[in-house]
Structure 1
Amino acid sequence: MEDIIKEYASGYEMLRDAIEGLTEEELRYKPAPDKWSIHQILIHVTDSEISSTARLKKVLAEDEPALISFDQDAWANNLGYDLLDREQYLLLFNMLRSSMQPILSNLTSEQWERVGVYPDQERYTFKQLLVYRVEHVRGHLAQIERVKKAYRENQ
């Protein structure tokens, strides 16, 4: 799990590296009307992190807590992602990830196996939820690269 914790901790730097040197035009470019810009992706990643940090803590603190997801498209469409401050959101992402580090460094093997339950009765261990957080950032980093490529191809 050491590698997962390390990659989880480096999520902020990975996002920063992915957008380094991009212009505002590149950050706001949407490859299609129904696709997200890099700016929107970054806001989404942070909103997801807010929700997920609470889920991770619930699983560690409560006995088999109920876990709730959020409708990412509704959030993106109804919360004015284009109007939100990307820098504030990136800093918030960094703070959320940093705040989890002392917890992650002191987990027992039993805590890794603690479980949360979604409304459909799907059960996830803390370990599975943390791995998903790492994979979520990986997936959006790949999405950012696709948007960058689409921007270059359309210029």
Structure 2
Amino acid sequence: MQNTFDLEALQFPIGRFSCPTDIRREDLEHWKTSLREFPAQLNAVLQPLTPAQLNWHYRPEGWTIKQVVHHLADSHINAFTRLKLTLTEDAPVIRPYEEALWAQLPDGVKDDLTASLKIIEGIHERWFYLLNHLTETEWDKMYFHPQHQRLVGLKEMLGLYDWHGRHHLAHIRQAIFHEGNFNVQP
């Protein structure tokens, strides 16, 4: 009997990102707290895994757990850089990157997660600190995203990266739940 899976549900286990139209102070505080707690949550999920389990895919043709972790480091470095550019420039045009190609580079498939986990921990600590020191005027700043052809505000960005971390934690939990079943070719 062949398993059938809803690929959309596997790709977006917590749903697609949807930003509230009216972002409240409570939203920002919740997202900042989530960002601060993310490295510990990630470490807790990864700690019991064996090297073989780090090679489990979270969905058919999806990334392995280790690729997800390395992607989180890459992505959150870029997000932190975008934040700093936005704070120091007037509506900067950010530079997108080919995340799928980055995930195939030697450091994106590396078995040892130590460096990426250190990056995530350090970036999140600095990110949280900086976010807690923004003025109201700074919170209203925006950057231009050329892939989406629109301005993105720092408040929305914070919500997006709160979602991004939870999204990929769900991918890792999904890979663990399916115990490597997505590694088998049909």
User: Under a length normalisation based on structure 1, what TM-score does the superposition of the two structures give?
Assistant: 0.90
Cα root mean square deviation, aligned:
1.9
Paired residue for 2:118, among 85, 91, 94?
Answer: 91
Structure 2 unmatched runs, 5+? 1-27
Query: Helix, strand or coil for the counterpart of 2:143?
Result: strand
Partners of 1:140 and 1:66 lie apart in 2 by 26
Partners of 1:54 and 1:85 lie apart in 2 by 25
Paired residue for 2:55, among 24, 28, 31?
Answer: 28
Bigger helix fraction: 1
Matched, 1:123 2:163: no
Query: Helix, strand or coil for the counterpart of 2:96?
Result: coil
Partners of 1:138 and 1:95 lie apart in 2 by 18
Partners of 2:45 and 2:109 lie apart in 1 by 19
Q: Residue 57 of structure 1: CA displacement?
A: 0.9
Partners of 1:143 and 1:99 lie apart in 2 by 25
Tell me how many residue pairs correspond in the alignment.
154
Partners of 2:117 and 2:164 lie apart in 1 by 15
Q: Residue 21 of structure 1: CA displacement?
A: 0.9
Query: Helix, strand or coil for the counterpart of 1:42?
Result: helix
Partners of 2:69 and 2:180 lie apart in 1 by 19
User: Which is worse superposed, 116-125 or 23-32?
Assistant: 23-32
Query: Helix, strand or coil for the counterpart of 2:62?
Result: coil
Paired residue for 2:169, among 138, 141, 146?
Answer: 141
Q: Residue 99 of structure 1: CA displacement?
A: 1.4
What is the identity, as a one-letter code, of the residue corresponding to 1:139?
H
Matched, 1:60 2:87: yes
Q: State the percentage of identical aligned residues.
A: 25
Q: Residue 153 of structure 1: CA displacement?
A: 5.8
CA displacement, residues 35-68 of structure 1 (integer Å, 9 cap, x when unaligned): 2111111001101011111001111111111112
What is the identity, as a one-letter code, of the residue corresponding to 1:127?
K
CA displacement, residues 73-132 of structure 1 (integer Å, 9 cap, x when unaligned): 111123452226311110111101111232111111111110101225311101111111
1:56 touches 1:130 (CA, 8 Å); kept in 2? no
Partner of 2:4: none
